[in-house]
Chain A
Amino acid sequence: MSLKHDIEFTLNGVKRRVTVDVTMTALAMLRDVIGLTGTKYGCGEGECGACTIQVDGMSLNSCLMFAVDCDGRNVTTIEGLANDSKADALREAFVEHGAVQCGFCTPGMIMQADHLVRNECCGDTESIKRGIEGNLCRCTGYKKIVDAIASVSGAQN
């Protein structure tokens, strides 16, 4: 029998209490227990960034975080950016700049970009590229993603 554990945390601004298996990842909890599917499984080992979320303001791969470690923390997923004007600008920039093709990497990419923009880590396009190095995209060739983020952060070359 696997061990269960009760945790309480803030998810997208709302307090949640969840019972999770101790071996469960935060990604599995978000998708399978809570039912928020915007956070994507791409590799399950922290290499692709499709599952990027923000925890206490830091961006991380939810596939590498245990669900129980969300206890007492402030967790934001792509769904949590729905009512956020800064994120609105970023989402619109992704759409307008053609940074979305198949779209599977997009939520993780936007979570990472949002983190970069909020922390002013993208003063030039090189730092944007570095900032999204952990997020793989197979469709776009990254250029339009970088352009989209730069348009919001005001980055110069």
Chain B
Amino acid sequence: MSVAEKKPRVIELDSLIGKRIPKMDAPEKASGRTRYIHDINLSGQLHGKILRSERIHALIKSIDTSAAKELPGVHVVITAADIPDQRPIGVARDHFPLKVGRVRSERDEIAAVAAETEEIAEAALKLIKVVYEDLPVISNPEDAIKPGAALIHPEPHGADGSHEHLKQGTTIAHKGKPDNVAMTFDYAHGDVVRGEAESDVVIEDTFKLHYVTHCCMGVSGMIAEFDASGNLLMYSNTQVPFLHKREFAEYLNMDPARIRIIQPPIGGGFGSKLDIYPFEVICLYLARAAKRPIKMLFTREEEFLASPTRQPVLLTLRSGCKKDGTLTFRQVHTLHDNGAYTSWGATTPFVMMQTFSSLYRVPHCDYHTAAVYTNNPYAGSFRGYGNLQATFAIEQHMDMLAEKIGMDPLAFRLKNAQDSGETTGQGMVFKSCGFKDCLTTAATRSDYTRKFKENAANRSKPGNIKRGVGMASMLHVGGGAKIYPSDGCGTILKMDDFANVTLITGASEIGQGSETVLSQLVCEELGLPISAITVVNNDTAITPWDVGVHASRTTFIAGNSAIGAAKKAKTKILAVAAKKYDCAESDLDLRGGFVIRAGSGEVVVELSKLLRNLHFQDKAELVMTTFYYEPPSVHQDKGFKGNVSAAYAWGTQVVEVEVDTDTGTVRMTKVTGAHDVGRVLNRLGIEGQIEGGVVMGQGYALTEDLMIENGVMKNPNFRDYKLVTAPEIPEMDISFIESMDGEGPQGAKGVGEAPSICIAAATANAIANATGVRMFELPFTPERVYRTLHGRTPKLYWKPWRAEQ
């Protein structure tokens, strides 16, 4: 044997971070093999269907289910009267799954049927007779707060959120609401009166944001079954399985330990699955009554009617600045259409106020909001969580203030933009902050300044096609959000005889690609190829606790948790190897499935061989580790101040449009985005998140409009609710600013919600650049744009309103 042949094998360093790694579940999905909830059937299962209200606001005088019960194939028919222990659900516990005495919106659930087939269940619903007594309908939040307005929740029912009703022996019912105010928020830092006095320029405008909805391609559904011992197994699309275990237990008056939730792959989330909705609790009632598995799926029409929306907002913003471009104050009043019941939509002011107080340096800011009950659909959480609405107003005012003082809009923003090391009036601490890089990168790559001037100069030239360019920026939590007692995530990691690793994580995969990113982070630590990992992430009986998929938190929180578990495993492995090969742990590393010499990359031993030795020989040990990560963030105080997130994401998007002044048609031609994501972990995945978010933002700006008239949804279908289709998408140029967050996993921050936030605001600025006309109301449909361009839209003005103290 020659010397050359005996040369030790060397493994070169090869990082998985920043690579284009295809989604691990994509091959199954692309083959049509993935079993979504719609594709799962349990033997013995019955089909559940819900009877919804035929009225918008009415008293229920009587319900007759006798004919439905007689229909062959019908097993169970239930109404509120059959569920004496029914408890109110939702963020404010103001909502009975099966309505008691009163319906308050079009989607309201009156009765439910479990039958052999969906067809029989549908037929049974038609046999249920309900007698109503109509009440006045409130479909406008401004009417809801007028003195003498009909009350939506007058009678005792539901709860006040204190959970007093859960104490043994107390009745469930609580006093009704004396007005239609569901929730209020008041925030302030500095002194806006002083801020206004110091201003050279003050402007005030009202903005109106509309109803849109998630439109997940997979409709909502659930399968539930109680076993012989009374344990509950649910197949659910929830984004927050561990919180929902506890909540479902409350609603069913059972021990949460007896509830198991399995999450099949989900056909889109976007925030829609953060709350528990009536259909889910009703499905459990049916399963309990029928003692059979119940499968309940929505039709698309039902999905429109009975899934949550983004909250419509009426917003009056007063802002000021000095001649030199320094922002002085911001005063904000908003009125949220809460709909008939309270879900997460009512709490979006948490996020809105962060943008008002802290996107730019504003010394004086106050923010007042009220979410009021109406007979409209009720608003939930939706990607961006209030930030699209806040950004729409702020970023238009940034352009308008810049124009007033004759300053370039980019320079004006740069002058007021946040930087690393700042603590805002709201107590948010910016460690990594690439905001200014986002601004300059997006502006440079789109040639913003030149186009902005050129377009403005071209406005008066002949021709009906006007080009415009507009920018908007955003700030959003990127390191979790400490809303619940814990914002953490647990990981269990185990390695097998073949150096394969199983990552058992609390973090759910909802299509966003968390499974793949978490795998990259673990494999990077353990020096393994991505093919060496299996992820288990969808069963509460197996996976450790996690607070859920929301607030763009999964990469950051679950990522740090996964790294923590992997580091522990690595330490364990290297300690054994160091002992066996008689060297220091620091001399060794893991790479390519081998234990190697840290400096040279020379192979010491195959990792699988070392692992087998551990339990087959002297050590009798398996490599298994656990880790729980809690981000270093704090809860807000009563004044909404505090550093709720361990990191913050930034972004700037420049939108280019062509406006046809003859037809009002706005074509979005190009979006140039620059996003501070901390660090790119999976380039393919993050591009997909951004592109998808941009197009979702495009829909919000231009085409999507859930039309509600007197509480009736006029367009619950894809024909009349217009999603963006492939030919309409803009050219997209996306850049990533890598600010390398010190706390983030490999430096990364969350980005899930970021890309849809700025688009509507930037589009409004682009239309103004093209035409000289400002759009204060969404969406920018041809009709609305045409009317506004031709002076036929009255100036919006909403006088800020305060609840009587």
Q: Which residues on A sit within 8 Å (CB–CB) of B181?
A: none
- CA separation between A100 and B718, bound complex, in Å? 21
Contact with A along B264-275 (1 / 0, CB 8 A): 011111100000
Interface hits, B371-385 → A, CB 8 Å:
none
Q: Which of A39, A42, A81, A95 contacts B23 (CB 8 A)?
A: A95
Of the candidate stretches B214-222, B460-468, B489-497, the one touching chain A is B214-222
The answer, yes or no, to whether B696 is at the interface (CB within 8 Å) is: yes
The answer, yes or no, to whether B32 is at the interface (CB within 8 Å) is: yes
Total B residues in contact with A, Cβ cutoff 8 Å: 54
Contact B31 A38 (CB under 8 A): yes
The answer, yes or no, to whether B717 is at the interface (CB within 8 Å) is: yes
Contact B22 A101 (CB under 8 A): no
Q: Which residues on B sit within 8 Å (CB–CB) of A37?
A: 32, 35, 38-39
Interface hits, B685-709 → A, CB 8 Å:
685, 687-688, 691-696
Contact with B along A116-156 (1 / 0, CB 8 A): 00000000001011101111111111111110000000000
Nearest Cβ in chain A — how far from B47, in angstroms?
A: 11
- CA separation between A37 and B35, bound complex, in Å? 8
Of the candidate stretches A3-11, A45-53, A64-72, the one touching chain B is A45-53
Contact B696 A98 (CB under 8 A): no
The answer, yes or no, to whether B288 is at the interface (CB within 8 Å) is: no
Nearest Cβ in chain B — how far from A38, in angstroms?
A: 2
Residue of B510, B725, B729 with most partner-chain A CB within 10 A: B725
Contact B25 A103 (CB under 8 A): yes
With A98-B22, A104-B217, A138-B270 given, is the CB distance from A143 to B729 under 8 Å?
Answer: yes
Nearest Cβ in chain A — how far from B115, in angstroms?
A: 15
The answer, yes or no, to whether B531 is at the interface (CB within 8 Å) is: no
With A91-B31, A104-B267, A138-B696 given, is the CB distance from A44 to B510 under 8 Å?
Answer: no
Contact with A along B15-59 (1 / 0, CB 8 A): 000001011011111111111101100000000000000000000
Q: Which of B20, B691, B725 contacts A140 (CB 8 A)?
A: B691
Q: Which residues on B sit within 8 Å (CB–CB) of A47?
A: 717-719
Contact A40 B218 (CB under 8 A): yes
Q: Which residues on A sit within 8 Å (CB–CB) of B732?
A: 141, 143
The answer, yes or no, to whether B684 is at the interface (CB within 8 Å) is: yes
Contact A95 B723 (CB under 8 A): no
Q: Which residue of A lies closest to B267 (CB)?
A: A104
- CA separation between A136 and B22, bound complex, in Å? 22
Contact B726 A129 (CB under 8 A): yes
Q: Which residues on A sit within 8 Å (CB–CB) of B723?
A: 136, 138
The answer, yes or no, to whether A96 is at the interface (CB within 8 Å) is: yes
Contact A141 B267 (CB under 8 A): no
- CA separation between A140 and B22, bound complex, in Å? 14
Q: Which residues on A sit within 8 Å (CB–CB) of B718?
A: 43, 45, 47-48, 136
The answer, yes or no, to whether A75 is at the interface (CB within 8 Å) is: no
- CA separation between A97 and B685, bound complex, in Å? 10
Q: Which residues on A sit within 8 Å (CB–CB) of B694?
A: 141
With A45-B300, A45-B719, A98-B22 given, is the CB distance from A144 to B687 under 8 Å?
Answer: yes
Q: Which residues on A sit within 8 Å (CB–CB) of B27?
A: 91, 95
Contact with A along B247-273 (1 / 0, CB 8 A): 000000000000000000111111000
- CA separation between A35 and B27, bound complex, in Å? 20
Q: Which of B20, B300, B511, B693 contacts A103 (CB 8 A)?
A: B511
Q: Which of A38, A91, A133, A143 contacts B691 (CB 8 A)?
A: A143
Contact with A along B389-407 (1 / 0, CB 8 A): 0000000000000000000
Interface hits, B204-262 → A, CB 8 Å:
214-219
- CA separation between A50 and B27, bound complex, in Å? 17
Residue of A37, A110, A139, A145 with most partner-chain B CB within 10 A: A139
List 17 extra interface pairs beyond A40-B38, A136-B718, CB under 8 A. A40-B217, A41-B219, A43-B300, A45-B718, A47-B718, A91-B27, A94-B30, A98-B20, A98-B22, A101-B513, A103-B28, A106-B30, A132-B726, A134-B725, A141-B696, A142-B725, A142-B729
**Contact residues of A with B, CB < 8 Å?**
31, 36-45, 47-48, 50, 77-79, 81-82, 91, 94-98, 100-107, 110, 126, 128-130, 132-146
A/B interface sample: 30 pairs, CB < 8 A: A31-B39, A37-B32, A40-B217, A40-B218, A41-B219, A42-B217, A45-B717, A47-B719, A50-B217, A95-B27, A95-B30, A98-B20, A98-B26, A101-B513, A101-B692, A103-B30, A103-B511, A104-B217, A104-B268, A106-B29, A110-B30, A129-B727, A132-B726, A138-B215, A138-B692, A141-B692, A142-B691, A143-B691, A144-B688, A145-B726
**Contact residues of B with A, CB < 8 Å?**
20, 22-23, 25-36, 38-39, 214-219, 265-270, 299-300, 510-513, 684-685, 687-688, 691-696, 717-719, 723, 725-727, 729, 732
